[in-house]
Amino acid sequence: SAISASCFLGGSLNIESCYHCTLLAQKYPNDDECFNYISSELKNKINNDTIIKGEDDLDENSDEKILREHIYKILKKMYNNDSDYCGNNRCNKKMIKNIKELDTDLQIYIKNYCDILKKVDKSGTLDSHEI
């Protein structure tokens, strides 16, 4: 009941799906009493579901990891140091650069990002678009 209460209080509209995901994510053993409250169809799904990959489980050279690195590099290049705008004091405001200030490194990062994004796109949406 703790799982279903957590799903409900977490605002999930599909309690059954949330319950299923929680059982998978928290790696409950198949003989746990929580499995008494799901359909046999869901039990089969859980037994056949792949292992959930966490951030630490990503392969060092995986496309997902490379994509994250490109996003980080792009965001880092797009913002100025805010101390330039706050009288040399940190005001914790990110100031986006003017388009004229963007350098060729950023253009390369964006191109690489688009290439890797196209590679990891499983829907096929990006196949018909030129970069």
* pLDDT reported for residue 61: 65
* pLDDT reported for residue 51: 52
| CA angle centred on 130, ends 128 and 131, rounded to 5° | 135
* pLDDT reported for residue 23: 67
100: DSSP letter: G
List average pLDDT for each run of 10 residues in the chain, which is 131 residues long. Answer: 68 70 69 72 69 53 80 77 54 65 80 84 72 61
Paired strand residues for 96: 79
Helix (H) or strand (E) holding 81: none
Distance CA 102, CA 107 (A): 8
* pLDDT reported for residue 17: 72
Domain boundaries, the chain: 2-48, 56-128
Distance CA 28, CA 3 (A): 11
Strand segments, DSSP code E, in 21-131 are: 79-80, 95-96
Distance CA 72, CA 69 (A): 5
